[in-house]
């Protein structure tokens, strides 16, 4: 019998887009990274900075990009990690960080004019003064207390 060749793992995932530490990232981002040599697929983990890394991947991809199901939340800090996979095993990439864009004040205006509904997550972000109701007072609060860039 011929000896089995030693395992050949993939190169670790690298060159993230968005860049590590990026700010004001769109909530509908497609995550992207450089192809890992010898990889046959990837597992992708995404989690809020305030939470622990999930035990199970957020998703998987055969190519070096991943579109999360549904939009991410506005004004949130996220961590993400890509694990490259092949028949010989897995290679974990670094944990990268980014923060999402500021909630658009226009969304509050459009909601009040019945021009655009808000998802439950957006409603929570639109309630700028925290009184449980999205109304004109939230626009005033937003103007007096602009979100940090």
Give the residue with greater pLDDT, 3 vs 54. Answer: 54
Q: Given this model, what pLDDT does residue 148 score?
A: 75
Q: Given this model, what pLDDT does residue 146 score?
A: 87
- Is pLDDT above 80 for 1? no
- Is pLDDT above 70 for 56? yes
- Is pLDDT above 70 for 55? yes
Q: What is the DSSP string of the chain?
A: -PPPPPP-PPPPPEEEESPTTEEEE-TTPPEEEEPPTT-SEEEEEEEETTSPPPSS-SEEESSSEE--SSPPPTT-EEEEEEEEEETTEEEEEEEEEEEEPPPPHHHHHHHHTTSS---HHHHHHH-TT-SS--SHHHHHHHHHSPPP-
């Amino acid at each position: 019998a011929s000896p089995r060749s030693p395992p050949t793992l993939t190169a670790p995932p690298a060159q993230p887009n968005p860049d590590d530490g990026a700010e004001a990232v769109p909530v509908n981002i497609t995550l992207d990274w450089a192809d890992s040599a010898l990889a046959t697929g990837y597992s992708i983990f995404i989690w809020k900075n305030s939470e622990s890394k999930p035990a199970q991947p957020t998703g998987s991809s055969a190519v070096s990009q991943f579109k999360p199901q549904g939009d991410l939340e506005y004004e949130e800090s996220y961590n993400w990690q890509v694990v490259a996979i092949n028949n010989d095993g897995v290679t974990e990439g670094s944990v990268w960080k980014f923060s999402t864009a500021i909630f658009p004040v226009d969304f509050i205006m459009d909601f009040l004019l019945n021009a655009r509904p808000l998802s439950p997550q957006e409603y929570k972000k639109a309630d700028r003064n925290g009184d449980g109701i999205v109304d004109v007072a939230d626009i005033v609060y937003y103007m007096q207390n602009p979100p940090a860039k």
